[in-house]
Amino acid sequence: MHEVSLVESMVALVEDERRRHVFSRVRTIGVQLGALGHVEPEALRFCFDAVTRGTIADGAQLRIETIPGQGRCSACQRIVALHDRFATCPACGHADVRITAGDELRLAELEVE
Amino acid sequence: MCTVCGCSTATIAHSADVVPHTHDHDHDHDHDHDAETIDFGKGAAGVDVAGLSQGRTIRIERDILSKNAAFADANRARLRAKHIFALNFVSSPGSGKTSLLVRTINDMKARCSIAVIEGDQQTSRDAERIRATGAPAVQVNTGKGCHLDAHMIGHALDRLSLEPDSLLFIENVGNLVCPAAFDLGEAHKVVVLSVTEGEDKPLKYPDMFAAADLMLLNKADLLPHLDFDMQACLTAALRVNPNIEIMIVSARTGEGLAAFYAWIDARVGG
Ligand SMILES: Nc1nc2c(ncn2[C@@H]2O[C@H](COP(=O)(O)OP(=O)(O)OP(=O)(O)O)[C@@H](O)[C@H]2O)c(=O)[nH]1
Ligand SMILES: [Mg+2]
Ligand SMILES: [Zn+2]
């Protein structure tokens, strides 16, 4: 599964931060995952320790914030909650709902020392 | 050497074991740090004691795939500079990607030059099948990796001397899930589905069908032998991606492929 390469990408971003800030250890890595996105939080957690071992992020805790799905219906223009990427508009039934939140795959913050 | 990543990858082999670009200054700050800090956090549970925390928070707000996106943009710029039209073929294993590429190259090679990047976990069999057509092909073995990423494509591009105004076909690792998330710098993703896989695949693997602009429904020559519900399949694909174009084709007989070639020609011209 590509969660391994996502964690590798996270480590690379942490390396970038270390070029800007002085720190020797990362305590937590805070990520935001959209509920409608491609990534299973459990799968990410599952490989996190193994992939970060021996890197700057070794020993860090992974904190996942889930961003709920939201979209704008192109027919009725309402902002609606989405539980499914391909859901129809719960208000009017139209199929063309543009996702406005819930697609995130973002490194939000680091707690370092 | 890759101009974006600066890494000196000597072989085109990539695996999950390769740790990219490590630096050696890990411990610059550890020594006096250790001397002046009593770390209560190193206890069994690893919890921090409030008030004595040396920690601080750095806001980042960066997309986790931003590195891949930067490599993909670099690939796109390289391709654009030479007017090369690149397609990224994605599908589950065995739906007929290589067969379609072989057929397409044989049918189109008289009027344009075509190169191929082949992605598989192991072996260079597919690249050899492509080379048998006379087209140049680079094989990328991803090892444990389940998809091609834009960094690998950058290195594969270094190996191919692509002619201006040519076509580049990238065959991704057979996997209907992971390649959806990785932009390689291609113009379009083309998803290949074969009629033997069942009509409900777009609903079961929606991300891939949502990411693709064109769907080639392959092995149409087998339809008389199957209970494949064509209408249900088309409905499912359009449900997850209302904008997807769909062509019913056979790599074996060539049925339907003229429309695919016309689709390419229209985009290369424009
Ligand atoms: N009947 C029929 N068989 C096909 C067609 N296209 C491919 N095949 C067969 O399907 C099998 C797999 O084809 P490949 O072209 O190797 O599929 P692939 O998607 O490249 O497979 P991977 O690279 O392993 O993911 C082979 O036995 C092909 O001969 C087709 O249009 N009709
Ligand atoms: Mg193949
Ligand atoms: Zn609506």
Query: End-to-end alpha-carbon separation of chain A, Å?
Result: 31
Q: How far is A50 from chain B (nearest CA, A)?
A: 11
CA dist A109 and A28 (Å) reads 8
pLDDT tens for B123-142 read: 999 999 999 999 999 999 98
pLDDT tens for B150-189 read: 999 999 999 998 999 999 999 999 999 889 989 999 999 9
Q: Which amino acid does the sequence have at A61?
A: Q
Average pLDDT of chain B? 83
Q: Which residues pair with B167 in a beta bridge?
A: B85, B114
Domain residue extents for chain B:
82-267
A109 has a chain B CB within 8 A of its CB: yes
Locate all alpha helices (DSSP H) within chain B, ordered by sequence.
Answer: 30-36, 66-81, 97-108, 125-131, 150-159, 201-204, 206-211, 230-240, 257-269
Cα–Cα distances (Å) from B210 to B133, B150, B194, in that order, read 32, 19, 17
Q: Which amino acid does the sequence have at A87?
A: A
What residues have a C-beta under 5 A from ligand 2, the ion? Answer: B 97-98, 126
Give the pLDDT score at B270. Answer: 52
Residues of B whose CB is below 8 A from A55: 19, 22
Give the pLDDT score at B55. Answer: 79
Q: Which amino acid does the sequence have at B70?
A: A
Structural class in CATH, domain A3-68+102-112:
alpha beta
Is the CB of residue B103 below 6 angstroms from any atom belonging to ligand 1? no
Give the pLDDT score at B185. Answer: 98
Give the pLDDT score at A85. Answer: 82
Domain residue extents for chain A:
3-68+102-112
Is the CB of residue B251 below 6 angstroms from any atom belonging to ligand 1? yes
Is the CB of residue B154 below 6 angstroms from any atom belonging to ligand 1? no
Task: Name the percent of chain A lying above pLDDT 90.
Answer: 73
Q: Which amino acid does the sequence have at B29?
A: H
Q: Assess contact for B209 and A85: CB atoms under 8 A.
A: no
CA dist B141 and B126 (Å) reads 11
CA dist B261 and A46 (Å) reads 44
Residue B209 pLDDT greater than 50, yes or no: yes
Residue B1 pLDDT greater than 80, yes or no: no
Q: If you measure CA to CA, which chain B residue comes closest to A47?
A: B16
A77 has a chain B CB within 8 A of its CB: no
Chain-chain contact of B20 with A9 (C-beta, under 8 angstroms): no
Query: Which has the closest alpha carbon to B137: B115, B104, B113, B166?
Result: B115
Return the best residue to mutate from B99, B116, B147 for the ligand 1 pocket (most ligand atoms within 8 A of CB). Answer: B99
Low-confidence ranges of chain A (pLDDT < 50): none
pLDDT tens for B59-117 read: 989 999 998 999 999 999 999 999 999 999 999 999 999 999 999 999 999 999 999 99
pLDDT tens for B154-164 read: 999 999 989 99
Residue B38 pLDDT greater than 70, yes or no: no
Is the CB of residue B222 below 6 angstroms from any atom belonging to ligand 1? yes
Query: Which has the closest alpha carbon to B249: B238, B263, B241, B260?
Result: B260
Residue B232 pLDDT greater than 70, yes or no: yes
Torsion of CA B201, B104, B266, B232, to 10 degrees: -20
Q: Which of A83-87, B14-18, B235-239 has the highest mean pLDDT?
A: B235-239
Residues of A whose CB is below 8 A from B41: 27
Q: Which residues pair with B218 in a beta bridge?
A: B194
Whole-model pTM?
0.82
Residue B45, classified by CB atoms within 10 Å of its CB into exposed (0-12), middle (13-18) or buried (19+), is exposed
Q: Given pLDDT bands bounded at 50, 70 and 90, which one contains residue B7?
A: low
Which tokens sit at B179?
């390649």
Q: Given pLDDT bands bounded at 50, 70 and 90, which one contains residue B144?
A: confident
Residue B16 pLDDT greater than 70, yes or no: no
3-state secondary structure of A71: strand
Superfamily of domain B82-267: P-loop containing nucleotide triphosphate hydrolases (3.40.50.300)
Tokens 């459990």 correspond to: A42
Is the CB of residue B219 below 6 angstroms from any atom belonging to ligand 1? yes
Give the pLDDT score at A87. Answer: 83
Cα(B36) to centroid(ligand 1), Å: 65
Give the pLDDT score at A1. Answer: 55
Q: Which amino acid does the sequence have at B27?
A: H
Q: How far is A84 from chain B (nearest CA, A)?
A: 11
